[in-house]
Structure 1
Amino acid sequence: MKIGERLKKQREIKTWSQQELADKLHISRQSISKWEQDIALPSFANIVAISDLFGISLDELIREDEELMNKLKINQKFTPIEKIVWLSISISILIFAILLAFNTNFKEITPWLQGAGTIFLIALLFSVDWKKINQAFSKKAIILSIFTLVLFLLPFLYGEIISFFQGISEFSETVV
């Protein structure tokens, strides 16, 4: 059953006119008419409002309407994680190109970049709502996250530990 048919059926069960339903959803009566005639499809926000209004699950409301399901898949925007990844990659490439254009010595700025990155990583870790993260991550995502962090942290730790011991040995040579 298409969403228009389901909407009309639910509206008639409540004995509401199209205008009454439109008023409850804060939209025009013509929109309700178009949905019920399958001329147009409601937005996702309106689907959620319809679901709440009639007390039926979103799954029950839209699952069998293949056209609507396809529209919702097509209209999906980037998730917050996808935005972070793509923006980070884009900004990194842009900054890298600018630094190359100015013949920047990467060995000189790498410690500054790593230090700033570490500070931001720590701030990020304290700002995350871990209860929601734990619910959202699959086992595969957790394993991939662990490997990613390890791969990023190993070179950092190696560099910091080596420089620490070099500093100690240089200090002890100057004292002796």
Structure 2
Amino acid sequence: MPDKNQAALDFLAKRRSHSPKVLTTPVPDKAQLAELLTLAARTPDHGMLVPWRFVVIEKPAMARLADLAEARAKSLGRSEEDTSKARGQFDRGNLAVAVVESPIDSPKVPTYEQTLSAGAVCLSLVNAALASGWGAGWVTGWISFDRGFAEQGLGLATNEKIAGIVHIGSFGTTPPDRNRPDIQGITTWLSE
């Protein structure tokens, strides 16, 4: 029987992301955030390509990104609801990290595996923040997939994509749990 890390298992059994809407100050300082990013980078990465990078969005940049999100929404004819939602995460935000999928040409590692690695970084960053006592939530939405926003707002190259925007901060209450999948209903056992 392997040795269990019961504290880690208890954390995973109870972990719950926070909506960026409820996150407030204080936020991690640069040293604390560097530690979280270091932990997030310890993620599955076939070929050790590091096909992702981080863009840290501090409070002063949030207003510019909120304005850009609104301008992009209007130029694309998005609804008021879409505009408000895209702008809102930056209007309310105090600290966020955009995890950027930055694929590397590789004959051995398909781009799809690199995409999965970038997604794993997002979850690892959320879990590192939560385990460190911060609140954290991973969001995307249409604004994350808009090329104009990605390139103008975050400086992404044409081959890069936003895998997720992880908001990190303090929180007042633990979010309620939500319904979880029926594991029996989504699991197939192959015995032969």
For Structure 1 versus Structure 2, the TM-score category normalised by the shorter chain is under 0.3
Name the structure where strand makes up a greater proportion of residues. 2
Q: Which TM-score applies when normalising by structure 1?
A: 0.24
The structure in which a higher percent of residues are helix is 1
TM-score (norm 2): 0.23
Q: Which has the higher contact order (CA 8 A, sep 6+)?
A: 2
